């Protein structure tokens, strides 16, 4: 090879080396970019799926809030907002129409109570279908309670003209159903009111329809139209009924308050464990009802609360608990005990219209600091009526009262519902604490609940802590508030005061 060629070749190989290096670094750059792009895509995908998930949760919640799960028909919430916009826009003045309240008769009640609940649901579903088919484009059908439907009929002039329509509806409903080769016949009672003749305001008209329905039931008729004179009768009867209830309630409260009492179970907050001793930062309490029956002896709450709930007596008992709890908070003020007191509110009591007013009244009369009161509700309270629950929780919070979800994880609510609720604390059910040290599943569930609730800014309280092992594991998982026999069972108010002081000195 001639020297000039050798020089040329070595110059080329230098050039190739340089090019190779440049190519390598370019490829590296591309690889890094691709990685970054991939990360970005995964991130966006995650975001999209979380937005999608949130949208579907929102849709599901809206659906649950606005439609009856059995009939699939719009419920009282949708009725409320649709009628409000209808009458507010003045449409009720220009075109005469009717609101028709329809209640399935006692036969339905008997069937749904005595037969499998499936038949009751099936009957409700089929009745909804019949109504929707029959009404068609002439109006809207709402399913406002188990056995109650409301029809908004867009055209109705006078009672005389409209009555045949009601008779036909009655006939449609009363046609026999065939279920598992059984013939089932259910009837209905109807109350109707016409607008604008009887009024042009949603609440007044709904009230009219209700009054007309009561009149039809009282007079054993299939239907009745509202008449102004019924209003006076209804007001008179309501007054009598409410004074009777008041008298009954007073009697009942007087009687049971001699047998019922509240015990207080400490709920302790611990900062750390030093030399095998927990350092207690704060003590609150949960009021647990006790019944000393004159004949049966001590009846545990699990044995009588569900019955009280079923029969409605819980409303009276609940008021008594509230009253006693407020008195306890007042006593603590003199005793300089700085605990917060949690009371249990059952689903029926929670959805009772009077709950917020009773609480407000008691707080005002007793002049107690609302921050000293916490309300414990279960997931069922929320599931029964998510719309009412969210509204009530917000109203309690406006009053300065904190709210906790009791026995969390035992109901059927999805963890996602929790995101919608303005609650302060979540009490992890005793069964999970029990499983914590015995099953890997229990550990993962508690861990997941804690992660979610902490992300939502809620506090966790572990219920039913009985052993050191459970306490240590729970503390490792980031919980600092505990209730359980490891610290104390439910105590009499005097013993609670002693427990509190002992901790103060300690």
Site for ligand C2E in 316-335 (CB under 6 A): 321
Spatial CA neighbour of 217 closest among 237, 247, 196: 237
CA distance 421 to 403: 10
Q: Which stretch binds Mg ion (CB under 5 A): 127-135, 184-192, 193-201, 342-350?
A: 342-350
Contact 262, 291 (CB under 8 A): no
453 binds, among Mg ion, ligand C2E, none (CB under 5 to 8 A by kind): none
Q: Is 346 in the site for ligand C2E (CB under 6 A)?
A: yes
Q: Is 484 in the site for ligand C2E (CB under 6 A)?
A: yes
CA distance 257 to 291: 9
What is the torsional sign of CA 310, 349, 329, 327?
A: negative
Q: Based on CB atoms, which residue is closest to ligand C2E, 66 or 431?
A: 431
Q: Is 376 in the site for Mg ion (CB under 5 A)?
A: yes
Q: Based on CB atoms, which residue is closest to ligand C2E, 232 or 302?
A: 302
459-482 burial code (b ≥16 CB/10 A, e <16): bbbbbbbeeeebbebbbebebbbb
Coil/strand/helix, residue 296: coil
Q: Is 128 in the site for ligand C2E (CB under 6 A)?
A: no
Q: Which stretch binds ligand C2E (CB under 6 A): 93-101, 115-123, 162-170, 481-489?
A: 481-489
Q: Is 208 in the site for Mg ion (CB under 5 A)?
A: no
Q: Is 436 in the site for ligand C2E (CB under 6 A)?
A: no
Q: Report how many residues bind ligand C2E under the rule CB under 6 A.
A: 22
Residue 366: both structure tokens together: 């007793």
Spatial CA neighbour of 54 closest among 426, 445, 420, 450: 420
Could you tell me how far CA 352 lies from the centroid of its own chain? Answer: 13
Provide, rounded to whole angstroms, the least separation between the CB of residue 445 and ligand C2E. Answer: 17
96-111 burial code (b ≥16 CB/10 A, e <16): bbbbbbbbbbeebeeb
For residues 388 to 407, the per-residue mask of contacts with Mg ion, x marking binding by CB under 5 A and - elsewhere, is ------------------xx
Q: Based on CB atoms, which residue is closest to ligand C2E, 159 or 326?
A: 326
Q: Is 483 in the site for ligand C2E (CB under 6 A)?
A: yes
CA distance 479 to 329: 26
For residues 129 to 168, the per-residue mask of contacts with Mg ion, x marking binding by CB under 5 A and - elsewhere, is ----------------------------------------
Q: Is 270 in the site for ligand C2E (CB under 6 A)?
A: no
The Cα-based distances of 412 to 191, 212, 380, 418, 422 in angstroms read: 37, 39, 8, 12, 19
Provide, rounded to whole angstroms, the least separation between the CB of residue 474 and Mg ion. Answer: 15
Provide, rounded to whole angstroms, the least separation between the CB of residue 427 and Mg ion. Answer: 5
342 strand-pairing partners: 286, 374
Provide, rounded to whole angstroms, the least separation between the CB of residue 85 and ligand C2E. Answer: 38
Q: Is 379 in the site for Mg ion (CB under 5 A)?
A: no
Phi and psi dihedrals of 502, rounded to 5? -60, -40
Provide, rounded to whole angstroms, the least separation between the CB of residue 415 and Mg ion. Answer: 18
233 binds, among ligand C2E, Mg ion, none (CB under 5 to 8 A by kind): none
Could you tell me how far CA 404 lies from the centroid of its own chain? Answer: 12
Helix, strand, coil share (%) of the chain residues, nearest 5: 60, 20, 20
270 binds, among Mg ion, ligand C2E, none (CB under 5 to 8 A by kind): none
Among 77, 193, 214, 344, binds Mg ion (CB under 5 A): 344
For residues 280 to 309, the per-residue mask of contacts with ligand C2E, x marking binding by CB under 6 A and - elsewhere, is --------xx----------xxx--x----
Task: Compute the radius of gyration of the chain from its Cα atoms.
Answer: 32
Can you give the binding site for Mg ion, defined by CB under 5 A? 344, 376, 406-407, 463
Which residues of this protein are in contact with ligand C2E, per CB under 6 A?
265, 288-289, 300-302, 305, 321, 344, 346, 376, 406-407, 430, 463-466, 483-485, 490
């Amino acid at each position: 090879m001639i020297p000039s060629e050798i020089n040329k070749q070595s110059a080329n190989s230098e050039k190739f080396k340089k090019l190779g290096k440049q190519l390598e670094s370019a490829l590296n750059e591309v690889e890094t970019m691709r990685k970054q792009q991939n990360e970005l895509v995964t991130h966006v995908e995650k975001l999209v799926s979380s937005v999608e998930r949130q949208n579907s949760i929102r849709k599901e919640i809206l659906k649950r809030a606005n439609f009856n799960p059995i009939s699939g028909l719009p419920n009282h919430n949708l009725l409320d907002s649709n009628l409000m916009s209808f009458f507010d826009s003045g449409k009720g003045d220009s075109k005469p129409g009717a609101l028709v309240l329809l209640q399935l008769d006692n036969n339905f009640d008997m069937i749904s109570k005595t037969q499998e609940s499936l038949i009751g649901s099936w009957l409700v579903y089929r009745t909804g279908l019949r109504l929707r088919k029959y009404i068609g484009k002439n109006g809207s059908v709402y399913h406002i309670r188990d056995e109650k439907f409301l029809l908004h009929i867009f055209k109705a002039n006078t009672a005389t003209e409209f009555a045949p329509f009601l008779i036909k509806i009655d006939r449609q409903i009363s046609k026999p159903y065939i279920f598992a080769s059984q013939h089932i016949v259910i009837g209905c009672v109807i109350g109707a009111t016409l607008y604008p003749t009887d009024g042009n305001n949603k609440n007044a008209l709904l009230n009219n329809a209700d009054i007309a329905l009561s009149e039809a039931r009282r007079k054993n008729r299939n239907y009745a139209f509202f008449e102004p004179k019924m209003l006076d009768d209804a007001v008179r009867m309501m007054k009598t009924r409410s004074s009777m209830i008041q008298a009954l309630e007073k009697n009942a409260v007087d009687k049971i308050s001699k047998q019922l009492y509240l015990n207080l179970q400490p709920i302790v907050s611990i900062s750390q464990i030093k030399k095998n001793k927990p350092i207690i930062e704060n003590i609150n309490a949960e009021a647990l009802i006790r019944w000393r029956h004159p004949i049966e002896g001590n009846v545990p709450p699990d044995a009588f609360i569900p019955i009280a709930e079923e029969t409605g007596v819980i409303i009276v008992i609940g008021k008594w608990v509230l009253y006693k709890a407020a008195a306890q908070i007042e006593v603590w003020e003199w005793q300089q005990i700085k605990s917060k007191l949690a009371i249990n509110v059952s689903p029926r009591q929670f959805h009772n219209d009077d709950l917020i007013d009773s609480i407000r009244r008691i707080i005002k009369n007793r002049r107690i600091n609302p921050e000293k009161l916490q309300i414990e509700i279960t997931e069922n309270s929320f599931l029964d009526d998510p719309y009412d629950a969210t509204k009530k929780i917000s109203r309690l919070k406006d009053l300065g009262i904190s709210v906790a979800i009791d026995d969390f994880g035992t109901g059927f609510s999805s963890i996602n519902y929790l995101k919608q609720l303005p609650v302060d604390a979540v009490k992890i059910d005793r069964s999970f604490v029990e499983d914590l040290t015995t099953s890997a599943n229990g550990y993962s569930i508690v861990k997941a609940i804690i992660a979610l609730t902490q992300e939502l800014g809620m506090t966790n309280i572990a219920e039913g802590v009985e052993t050191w092992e459970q306490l240590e594991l729970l503390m490792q998982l980031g919980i600092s508030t505990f209730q359980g026999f490891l610290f104390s069972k439910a105590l009499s108010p005097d013993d609670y005061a002693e427990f509190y002081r002992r901790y103060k000195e300690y």
